[in-house]
Amino acid sequence: MSDNPSVERENNQDIGTRKKGKYKKLIIDRDTCIGAASCVAVAPGTFQLDAENKAYLVDPDKYDDEMLLLAAQSCPVNAISVFDENGKKIWPLDQ
């Protein structure tokens, strides 16, 4: 788990609040995460894998909106959710 004060862990989810950009919240569902590490490959300063091979948030403000959305979209199991400044879910798109 990150030592960053803008990251919380609740119900096995990492919740990151961003100060910059239009995307203001990231949530990693660690129960869904399979440790593929695609998010880490795209945005290593924001995402890392822990000893359980589960993604966790390091610094939600490290990259711009585009890079964070790409990282979330790279997850093969959609374990990363992205929300805008109004709380609207941007990714994954609800089916």
Residues 6+ apart with CB under 8 A from 67: 42, 43, 46
Running DSSP on this structure, what letter comes out for residue 62? S
How far apart are the C-alpha atoms of 47 and 62, rounded to whole Å? 10
Q: What's the predicted TM-score (pTM) here?
A: 0.92
Residue 32, pLDDT > 80, answer yes
> To which residue do tokens 């994954």 refer?
92
Q: Provide the percentage of residues in the chain whose pLDDT is more than 90.
A: 89
Residue 91, pLDDT > 80, answer yes
CB 6 within 8 A of CB 16: yes
Instruction: For residue range 36-71, list pLDDT tens digits in order.
Output: 999 999 999 999 999 999 999 999 999 999 999 999
